[in-house]
């Protein structure tokens, strides 16, 4: 007994996608291209601003780099993923950004009140009002850069391939590791940074957009950097309200600043639990495909 097998016609055969298309769909390739798109445009913007005399490089270079980071990521999404840039869409931007600023400010107030009330922080006076303005461009840049890198790229691409749980763990660890080169880095600082990273990922998950975590991130950094002269992530304090700290490093944060305080770990930890709970209630927690 023999059987005859028909040769599939061109109309019924399954076409293999071109090599270029398959490469661009690979998660690792997308990760590399996304990161390069952001960093290359950022470096180019920085190099461009360096061509201007130093006397005229006040504030705007950081804002230019922030715009370049957004532009680089937008170009990647458009040309590689070929989809609308939903995570930075303008619809609802003001509302979500405002809520993020409010949540970040609330975390600052809670931590400050606890440490002031415990006598760990003491207000000693104020500096010139320009201290409120100078850190603004830098903190705008930092908020957009880190949220695009760690939430829009690392977290989002990992989640697409491995699910929310794996993406949350890996992106949180990478966020903490990225802060290790900072001066006076401590293990408690690493823990606080990791917990903050988890909360910011939770903020992204709630809306699947960046405005909420960008607002939280900016408010936290700006208020401690510009309003309260409290070191953040090991960077020197330069704010308007002058503050001195005393007491054990695990409580005050020591030279690394507020982000190495157990108070920060607890505050951001509560925020993480609340945001991830809201994520699950909204059905945004995704299993591995």
User: What's the pLDDT tens digit per position in 180-189?
Assistant: 888 778 899 9
- Of 83, 114, 129, the one marking the end of a domain is 83
| Residue at 286 is within a domain | no
Q: Is residue 10 part of a domain?
A: no
With beta carbons less than 8 A apart as the criterion, state whether 135 and 226 touch. Answer: yes
Residue-wise pLDDT tens digits, 154-192: 999 999 999 999 999 999 999 999 988 887 788 999 999
Q: What's the maximum distance between 2 C-alpha atoms anywhere in the chain?
A: 99
Same domain, 120 and 234: yes
Whether residues 235 and 100 fall in one domain: yes
pTM: 0.90
pLDDT of residue 1: 47
Q: Is residue 165 part of a domain?
A: yes
Domain encompassing residue 139:
92-281
One domain, residues 71 and 100: no
How distant, in Å, are the alpha carbons of 109, 124, 202, 206, 210 from that of 94?
A: 22, 36, 19, 16, 12
Q: Where would I find the H helices in 77-130? A: 93-117
Q: How many CB atoms neighbour CB 159 within 10 A? A: 23
1 is a domain residue: no
* Rounded Cα gap, residues 273 and 279, in angstroms: 10
Q: Are residues 268 and 143 in the same domain?
A: yes
Q: What's the pLDDT at 152?
A: 98
Whether residue 5 is contained in a domain is answered as no
The chain-wide mean pLDDT, for the chain, equals 91
Residues 79 and 96 in one domain: no
Residues 172 and 200 in one domain: yes
pLDDT in tens, the chain (289 residues): 445 545 555 555 556 778 777 888 888 999 999 999 999 999 999 999 999 998 888 889 999 999 999 999 999 999 999 999 999 999 999 999 999 999 999 999 999 999 999 999 999 988 888 888 889 999 999 999 999 999 999 999 999 999 999 999 999 999 999 988 887 788 999 999 999 999 999 999 999 999 999 999 999 999 998 998 887 877 777 789 888 888 898 998 888 888 889 999 999 999 999 999 999 999 999 998 8
Clarify whether residues 123 and 144 are in a common domain.
Answer: yes
* Residue 252 belongs to some domain of the structure: yes
């Amino acid at each position: 007994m023999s059987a005859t097998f028909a040769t599939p016609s061109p109309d019924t055969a399954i076409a293999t996608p071109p090599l270029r298309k398959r490469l661009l769909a690979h998660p690792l390739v997308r990760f590399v291209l996304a990161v390069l798109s952001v960093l290359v445009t950022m470096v180019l913007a920085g190099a461009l601003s360096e061509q201007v005399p130093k006397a005229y490089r006040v504030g705007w270079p950081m804002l230019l780099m922030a715009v370049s980071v957004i532009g680089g990521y937008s170009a990647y999404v458009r040309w590689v993923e070929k989809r609308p840039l939903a995570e930075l869409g303008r619809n609802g931007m003001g509302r979500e950004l405002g809520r993020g600023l409010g949540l970040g400010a609330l975390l600052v107030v809670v931590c400050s009140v606890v440490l002031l009330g415990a006598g760990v922080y003491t207000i000693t006076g104020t500096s010139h009002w320009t201290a409120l303005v100078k850190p603004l461009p830098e903190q705008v840049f930092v908020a957009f850069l880190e949220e695009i890198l760690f939430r829009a790229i690392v977290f989002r691409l990992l989640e697409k391939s491995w699910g929310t749980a794996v993406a949350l763990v890996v992106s949180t660890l990478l966020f903490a590791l990225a802060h290790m080169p900072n001066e006076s880095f401590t293990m408690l600082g690493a823990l606080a940074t990791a917990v903050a990273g988890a909360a910011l990922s939770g903020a992204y998950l709630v809306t699947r957009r960046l405005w909420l975590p960008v607002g939280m991130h900016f408010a936290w950094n700006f208020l401690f950097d510009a309003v309260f002269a409290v070191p953040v992530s090991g960077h020197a304090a330069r704010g308007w309200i002058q503050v001195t700290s005393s007491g054990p490093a695990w409580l005050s944060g020591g030279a690394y600043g507020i982000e190495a305080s157990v108070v920060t770990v607890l505050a951001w930890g509560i925020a993480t639990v609340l945001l991830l709970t809201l994520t699950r209630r909204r059905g945004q927690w995704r299993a591995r495909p």
